Amino acid sequence: MAVEFTVDPTPNPNALKFSASQSIFEGRLSHRSGDNPEDKVAKGLLEIEGVESIFGYQDFITINKTPDAEWDSIVPLVQEVFESNY
């Protein structure tokens, strides 16, 4: 069964929370742009232009964008990373 994701705003306009219908990480995940994580989802997310950092734990991941990036261009690419890995 495919993992379903919901997208929720956070108090920070430069951050969105992506919640999964099941656990997607075994522990805590935290990376910034320029990192080279072993996790292929983290690596794929950090390769998206405008993504500044990511923080994930078990069934969610919060993505922070640079102030000049637009969510309208980032979210579809995030969904592509999720779909190709889950």
**What CATH number corresponds to the domain at position 70?**
3.30.1370.70
Q: Tell me the residue range of the domain where 14 lies.
A: 5-85
Band of residue 62 on the pLDDT scale cut at 50, 70, 90: very high
* Tally of domains in the chain: 1
The arrangement of strands across the sheet holding 60-65 comes to: 5-9, 15-20, 60-65, 51-57, 28-32
Tens of pLDDT, residue by residue over 2-42, are: 789 999 999 999 999 999 999 988 889 999 999 999 999 99
Give me the percent of the chain exceeding a pLDDT of 70. 99
The whole model's pTM is what?
A: 0.92
